[in-house]
Each structure stands twice: as C-alpha cells, then as structure tokens.
Structure 1
Amino acid sequence: MTSPFVPLPAAAPSTEGTDAAGILRFIEAVEAHPDHEPHGLMILRRGRVIAQGWWAPYTRERRQLVYSLSKSFTSAAAGLLYDDGLLDLDRPVVSFFPEFADEITDPRSRGILVRHVASMATGHRDDMYDIAFGADPAEPVRGFLLHPPEEEPGSVFAYNQPATYTLAAIVQRLAGRRLVDLLRERVLDPIGAGELRWMQQPAGRDLGYSGSFMTTDTVARLGQLLLQRGEWAGRRILSEEWVRMATSPQVSTAGNWGNGPDSDWTQGYGFQHWMARHGFRGDGAWGQYCVVLPEHDAVVALQGQIPDMQGLLDLMWEHVLPAFGSAGTAEDDARLAAHLADAVLPAAAVDTAELSDADAAAWDGSEFVAARRGGADARVDRVGTGWRLVLTTAGGRVGAGFEPGRGWTVSDDAGPAVAVSGGFVSSTSLQLDVAFLETPHRLHVTLERPADDGDRIGEVTTRWETEPLHGADPATLTAPRD
C-alpha cells in the first residue's frame, strides 16, 4: 500500500539562487518548438521545488508511461540487492538460469556478467530486442543468450533492451518478488513517491527496460535521491557506492548515438543511466527526462511528447543552466509561477462549423468503419448539449465526450483515460484529437459521413502524432491494472 502523498518542499526560485526569467525562457522555447509538447515539469534546487506545472489536460496526479526512463528504477532495484550482498556484478548471467544453462554453449554468451547487462556492454553490436523476444517470448533471457555477441563482453556499448530485461529478471529471481513490490517497500515509500505500475512479459515479470507508469513527482524524487547519493531525510536508501557506479561512466558510447562532443548520447553510460554534457540522466522515448545536475544541486523532471530529445536537452543547456548562475527577482518568480499555473496544451487546430438541426440529427448515432485494416471503427452520439465518440478496436473500446470548438474534454468512463478536442469542420466531416493521458501520445481522428444518409455508415481515419512503442491499439494505452 502506498503512503499518503506529502508534497516536496517548495521555494521561490530567487530564494534558491535561481533566475526564474531563465526558467521561463526555457519553458517558452519548449512551447514554441514545433516538435515539443510538454506535459509535466518539475525543477528542484537544493532539495526544494522551484518550478512545477502541468499542461492541461495533463495533471499532477496522472501517471504517465515513461518508456526507457523505467531503466533508472531497474537500476535502483539492482542497487538494493547489490547493497544486500546478493547481487555480484562479476557473476555470469547464465548462472542465474540453470534451467537452460546447458543450452548456452558459446564462450562469449557464457562470459556475459551482471555488470555487462547493467551497463549495456554485452558485446552485441546492436539492440537484440527482436531476436531475443522473437526466439523465446516466454523466456526472452534464453532468446538473448542463445545469440552470441559479436565482440567480447565489456568491450563495446550497444543500447540493448534485452540486457536491461535480463538484469531485471535476475533482480526479481534474487528478490523473490516483482520489481514494483521491491521498490515500493524499500525506495518509493521511504522517499514519498506515488504509485508505480509496470507492464509485464511474461505474466509476473516486470519488463525492466520500459513499460512503467508514474507521475512527474515520482521521477523528480528518484532524481533527488540520486543527487543526494542515495540518502533521503537522514535515511540511507541506496549505498553511496552503488549510486557512484550507476551514475558514472562504465562504458564509452562514443560513435554509437551521436557524432561528436555536442551529443548527449556520446558521453558514456553507467548502470542504466546516461552520462550527459552536464550531469547524468535517465530518459525515455518521446520525451521523458530525469536530468540530475550535481554541479548545480538541481534536478529537472519532464514528461511530454517530444520526438527531438537532443533538441530539448539543447534548450535546457541554453536556458536552465545559466538560470542557476544568479538569483532573479520576486517579480520574475511570480511571472514563472503564473505561466505554469495557466499552462494548457493547444487543442486540435480545426475551424469548426455550426451544424444545422438536420445535420446534427444525421450525425447522431452515425457509425464509421476503419479506413485501413486493423484500424479503429467508430460511433458518434449526441449526449445532451455535447457529443460522444466511441472507438472500437481488437483490444476494446475508448469512450470520450467532446464539446466542438471548446478545448479539451476529459473522459475516464470507458477504457483508457483520454481528452478530446476538435469539432465539425463541415456537415459531413469531424476532426478530433484524442490525447491518451496515461501515455505521451495523441491520436488524430477524422470521420467522414456520407452526404447520402441512406445507410449512415461512414469512414474513420486515424493517425498517431507519435507511434506508441508497446502496441498501437488505442484501447490498450493505459497503465496496467492490479
């Protein structure tokens, strides 16, 4: 059971030696960038929250899928067992899986150690996800180890999802329970973090490399724990030794994820943490960040839909770092707080049209078939003064109300939590944006009703702003339920 939520201590930026005007310039630059859609932001300095905000329809309380930022939590779980003396970094991975150990005959596969999967230095040149999960979906570790690395373990870096999955599987075997349960008792509750949910494969085994859902606040608290070298309110959570190893370079990443010193993907990799041009970080696809800046005693936690992840970091270095150089004014503090308090994502960019009573009646109860195989079918109904959209897929249903031309309408009533904006662009065309609030993703939906109302069957076209990585069925874009 999670502990009651207690907010982190807060302070005005100027009282913590920070120029709020610089933070505001960062936020405005993010909002103005065509590829950046922020959902939640928290900036901590000297252990206090100096800036926080959520762009409606996203909220403080909502868990959101953080993709590979999950790896930072897997690292914390591994650190607990390392501190307990249970996890030997120099023990061969295959020794943890005696049920198929005899099948693993290649010397390089047998030479992969725990420290190699922890640091993505297994000797493979590429991500082994498709091979590992394709070879044995029921036991991806076996599929991973059956494919020998091209180089000696420890010699090269490759961003490799099965490496983290294998580390997580080892931790769960040693702990005798799921990662979420281990983390809840020994990390999340002690630091006051909120609920964390994790996708599994197979059932009972948390993915480790991705698939966890959490609030921005939980991301920020983990960053602060790492900044404090594993200590929280006078209590030792992780050893200083583990935090030092996890957040310092264990393997070079030069030439892998960038072409020069200005790339934040060429600064080295620790134990499930990236080194950066400034400090270190965990991050996840489409714009999930936990950036820790020890030299400034600061943490930046950000969730969003941001394809250009290096671009976001560039803006952070341009605006946020200088802001830590000098205290601003109380007036700048107030401007920043007001901006974040009123933050709203732009609604669907459509020019709405007024429907006649006859056209509204024709839309009421209309059904739509997917324009492509495997897509979503749809239905539109009049509900009071508003409307309701229902998308039906192989995975289930997504139900959502909407008010044409009136911004975002949030719905939690059927399937995933969503917010909808948009409206009728003509008597026969409806365009909507559906934001899936437990994920970074937004779906563009266009419904075309035939001018001839004889059969009342139209066509629905859907397009993702960013493609979900754990399956693109809209009905499945929600946190796992216990």
Structure 2
Amino acid sequence: MFQHLLAGAAALAISTSAFAQDRCEEYPLAPATDPAVLGFSETDIAGLNQLATDLDSTAMMIVRGGEVVVSHGETDRLIMVHSLRKSLMSGLMGIAVDAGAVRLDQTLEELGVDDLIGLSEEERSATVRDIITSMSGVYIPSAAETPQMRESRPERGEYAPGEHWYYNNWDFNVAGHIFERTTGRNYDSAFLRLFAEPLCMPDFDVFETHRQHAPGTMFSAYHMRLSARDVALFGQLYLQNGEWEGEQILSEDWVRESTGDYADTGWPGAWMGGYGFMWWKVPDEATSEEFGLPQDLYTGAGYGGQYVTVIPSLDMVIVNRMNTDIQGGPRMGGRDYTRVLQAAIRAARD
C-alpha cells in the first residue's frame, strides 16, 4: 500500500478543490445528529461557541466519534499552518518509513546530508530519529528561525546528537529534505496525493504551498495553507490509527510510535512538556491530573493559534485556527488553547 502511494505521488499542477468536487460529494465528517449522545449538551455547545467568540477564534472545530459537534467561524478559510507544518511532515515521514524508503537509525552521513557551513563528524552521526525528535545536536542557522530560537540555540558542539532537546528549525527543515530525497517526491504534491486526496480535504490547494529560504543554509522551510476542515481530517486520520475507509494510509505502528513521548522539553504549560516525532505531549501523570487533560493527548501547534489535538481515549479531535494574515490581529496562545481543551474535555467526560 505504502509503496503504491509513493509511486503514485507524481507532481500534480492542480488544486484539490476541483478534485473534491469531482470525487468527494460530501465532507467526510458529518455534523453530529445527536450531540447529547456524544456527551455534548446544548449548553456545552453554546459555551464552546461563546469561548471561541471570546478568544476571537477564526475557526474552531470539535469532532467526536467522527461527527462534528462544534463548527465555529470560517472553517473553510485557508490559513498558514506555521509550525503545525511539523506534525504534517511527521505524517509524510511516516509514509516514507512505512515504505522502507528511510530508516529511523540512518545517519545524516549515510544519507549524504550536509550544509553550507559544513557539518562536523559528530553532527553527521545524528540519526533520522534524532532529527524528527528535535535532538540532532546540530546548532546552526536555519530557515524560518525566530529571534527566540536564535537566542536559545545552544553553542555548536555543546550537545551530542540525541542528548538534548531544542526546538530546532534546522531539524524540521532537514526532515522535509530527507523525505524528498528518499522518496523522490516533492512535499507539496506528495501531501496532495497521500493525504489531501484520499481524505477528501475540501479546501487544500497545492498552489497554496511555498518554501522559505534563508542565507547560510541549503535547507528551506516547508509551508502550506490548510483550512480547519482540512486539519480536522488529518487529526481524524491519526485518531483512526492511520486507517481511512478501509485503506491503511499510515501504519498503526507509526501513529503509535510517532505520538509517543521521547523528550522532556522543559517547556511550561499543560501539553508542551513532552515531545514525540514532531508532536507535543502531556509530559507526565502529574501534569495530566493538574490540568485535567488525558495523558494520551497529543497536539500539533503553530504560531498565532494553529492547533490540532487528538485524544484517543475520548475519541475526539479539536482544531483551532487564527488568521495570521491580519496584521496585529488576534492570536491564541497556549494558555487560552488549554482553556478550549479543558472545556471540550469536561463536556465529553460529563
């Protein structure tokens, strides 16, 4: 299955909006016919919609049991995913690993990965696993690096590969390069073929993807725009352990392994203390109990308020989007998103 998908991921100069009209008659996640059966009363839904309004959310969706319980705002608006791109890339990497195109224990040296500045022998010993857990030990400038990343970046050679977690755009950008190099496919057309088409993402447009370059490095950042409806489908795929309408798009093993907890980030908050393969995790049982969040919860997150959270134990996906094209417009930080998670979880548990 995975080899077939990779072989068929040829570059397609078309928009899946047209594709969706031809093949996908309805959005795959139907509105909930009886939200109360799913644990959401009319009061719960009204409260969640009011919270979304109070937080100036551009779009919010809550899906339980494959049915849409809350659909707030412009759920069809294409919005920059920002760092949510990393969890999307984790999915692409999973297909490459499942297909045998790349191994997690392969080193940068084995893959022929170097950069303009020239990597040291120790840096070239970093594995694919180190890259996708943001523990490569390569501390050099990268595309899409923020001032905060530059300020917190360790000194070059300070830590060996696999020794220290640092939120490193160099790692995330190299993950995209490794995917393209090992599969022979561009990330945008591959995402179209491997995710947007089979999941019937109604709003994805391959022309709404681009790469961001930076001086001093050969690796670009991979960006795209997705709607809340598109992101909810990606989250639902993970909730269903990679299976979609009888097809195993991602292996169950990859979904389980990639959403495990491999690194202690040291970051504060309810759901960013642990890190998997480019997914954020609730770090421990104590944090889970303190904030009332299931420990199996995992989240993809991007600048300004781009979130998707999957909660297997509650059969639930939660999505929020903020339109960052609006200069000086509203943003949603981690604390406010935690409020959204807590409100949705309380409703589902009651």
TM, length-normalised to structure 1: 0.57
2:228 matched to 1:216? yes
Q: Distance in 2 between matches of 1:245 and 1:214?
A: 25
User: Which residue of structure 1 aligns with residue 57 of structure 2?
Assistant: 38
- AA partner of residue 274 (structure 1): W
Give the one of 171, 185, 189 matched to 2:193: 185
Long gaps (5+) in structure 1:
136-146, 327-482
2:51 matched to 1:29? yes
1:103 CA displacement: 4.0
1:60 CA displacement: 3.6
Q: Distance in 2 between matches of 1:247 and 1:63?
A: 26
Q: Deviations over 1:234-266 (max 9, x none)?
A: 11000011111111112121x2x21xxx53221
Give the one of 164, 169, 176 matched to 1:161: 169
2:261 matched to 1:245? no
Going from structure 1 to structure 2, the CA distance change for 1:298 and 1:86 (only over 3 Å counts) comes to same
The aligned length equals 295
Whose radius of gyration is greater, 1 or 2? 1
Give the one of 310, 328, 338 matched to 2:334: 310
Give the one of 265, 268, 278 matched to 1:272: 278
User: Which residue of structure 1 aligns with residue 142 of structure 2?
Assistant: 132
Q: Distance in 2 between matches of 1:188 and 1:154?
A: 33
Q: Distance in 1 between matches of 2:338 and 2:180?
A: 37
Higher relative strand content: 1
- AA partner of residue 31 (structure 1): T
Going from structure 1 to structure 2, the CA distance change for 1:237 and 1:154 (only over 3 Å counts) comes to same
Give the one of 289, 294, 300 matched to 2:312: 294
Q: Secondary structure at the match of 1:38?
A: coil
Which protein has greater RCO, CA pairs closer than 8 Å, 6+ apart? Answer: 2
Give the alignment of 1:92-111 within 5 angstroms: 92-97=107-112, 103-104=118-119, 106-111=120-125
Any conservation in 2 of the 1:31–1:37 contact (CA below 8 Å)?
A: yes
User: Which residue of structure 1 aligns with residue 204 of structure 2?
Assistant: 195
TM, length-normalised to structure 2: 0.77
Give the percent of matched residue pairs that are identical in Structure 1 and Structure 2.
26
1:42 CA displacement: 1.4
Q: Distance in 2 between matches of 1:102 and 1:212?
A: 28
Any conservation in 1 of the 2:92–2:191 contact (CA below 8 Å)?
A: yes
Q: Distance in 1 between matches of 2:143 and 2:300?
A: 24
Any conservation in 2 of the 1:19–1:324 contact (CA below 8 Å)?
A: no
Measured on the aligned residues, the alpha-carbon RMSD in Å equals 2.7
Long gaps (5+) in structure 2:
1-13, 146-154, 283-292, 324-329
Give the alignment of 1:17-416 within 5 angstroms: 17-32=39-54, 36-54=55-73, 59-97=74-112, 103-104=118-119, 106-123=120-137, 128=140, 131-133=141-143, 148-193=156-201, 194-196=203-205, 197-201=208-212, 207-208=221-222, 211-253=223-265, 255=266, 257-258=267-268, 262-266=269-273, 268-276=274-282, 277-278=293-294, 279-304=297-322, 307-326=331-350
1:132 CA displacement: 3.3
Higher relative helix content: 2
Any conservation in 1 of the 2:211–2:221 contact (CA below 8 Å)?
A: yes
Any conservation in 1 of the 2:137–2:160 contact (CA below 8 Å)?
A: yes
User: Which residue of structure 1 aligns with residue 287 of structure 2?
Assistant: none
Q: Deviations over 1:310-352 (max 9, x none)?
A: 22233124321111024xxxxxxxxxxxxxxxxxxxxxxxxxx
